[in-house]
Amino acid sequence: MLREGTVKDPATVDHALATIERGAKAQAQLIDDLLDVSRLRAGMLRLDARPVDLAAVVKAAADVVRPAADEAGVELRVLLAEDPCVVRGDATRLQQVVWNLLSNAVKFSRPGSVVEARLSAGETDAVLTVTDTGEGIAPELLPHVFDRFWQAESGRTRRHGGLGLGLSIARDLVELHGGTIEAASDGPGRGARFTVRLPRPPSEKVAAAVSPQGAEALAAPPTARGPAS
């Protein structure tokens, strides 16, 4: 209709273009997720590990998610550790973990609710907690939230898109970094909490500068990253 010129009202044109753009971005994300799953299962995903400022990673991921949160009427709060929080890892892949967790929290939150990302630095690990006040997770479903292609909704009852790969990819990436990720919820309608723990090598407890390559990776959203080998 746009090509043929049958739609001429500027507001309708803008709405149509925005719809097309959202669809294209969603498809690109699905393709990226499928490629990542293939690389992970084949053991072909390699990490560019180096000292990374985890606070910068969380902030960059939150900046990418914030427009979607604003559009959904969800308040996104980011609380960062006062002390340096340096881990050894791949800045791009760690941002992908945080982006997946924040996007998932926003997607399952109601307008007017809050999503919070809190980063703290312990003696031996860095702890990131993403909490939402949204739909929550039933106790019998909690063991499955990190399963590939698993979704709590199915068939005609589904209200949210996606393939059910984001949390699975996040778990695999966290484990590749030697960390752990856990999900918790008090039940349906009572929100959810995801906790990521990443080891902090003793030699890197003091703040280290993120390399220029790491800074460039953090400037782009996950869907804009280059192919991993």
Query: Does residue 72 share a domain with residue 16?
Result: no
Query: Does residue 84 share a domain with residue 137?
Result: yes
Query: Does residue 146 share a domain with residue 103?
Result: yes
Structural domain includes residue 106:
yes
Query: Does residue 137 share a domain with residue 206?
Result: yes
Q: What pLDDT digit, counting tens, does each position of 93-150 carry?
A: 899 999 999 999 999 999 999 999 999 988 899 999 999 998 899 999 988 898 876 5
Query: Does residue 203 share a domain with residue 91?
Result: yes
Structural domain includes residue 228:
no
- Compute CA distances 84 → 57, 63, 196, 204, whole Å: 13, 20, 17, 10
> Could you tell me the CATH number of the domain that includes residue 166?
3.30.565.10
pTM, 2 dp:
0.72
Query: Does residue 200 share a domain with residue 138?
Result: yes
Phi, psi dihedrals of residue 214, rounded to the nearest 5°: -65, -40
pLDDT confidence of residue 45: 75
**210 secondary structure, DSSP code:** P
Beta strands in the chain (DSSP E): 50-53, 75-79, 86-89, 114-121, 125-132, 180-184, 192-199
Q: What pLDDT digit, counting tens, does each position of 153-164 carry?
A: 444 434 444 446
Asked whether residue 6 carries a pLDDT value surpassing 70, the answer given is: yes
Residue 228 neighbours by CB under 8 Å, 6+ apart:
36, 39, 45, 46, 93
Pair 199, 179: CB distance under 8 Å:
yes
Q: What pLDDT digit, counting tens, does each position of 31-56 carry?
A: 665 666 666 676 667 788 899 999 99
Structural domain includes residue 143:
yes
Asked whether residue 201 carries a pLDDT value surpassing 90, the answer given is: no
Which of 43, 89, 61, 60 is closest to 198 using CA atoms?
Answer: 89
Q: How many domains does the chain have?
A: 2
Query: Does residue 155 share a domain with residue 108?
Result: yes
Structural domain includes residue 2:
yes
Structural domain includes residue 166:
yes
Pair 89, 70: CB distance under 8 Å:
no
Q: Which domain holds residue 36?
A: 1-45
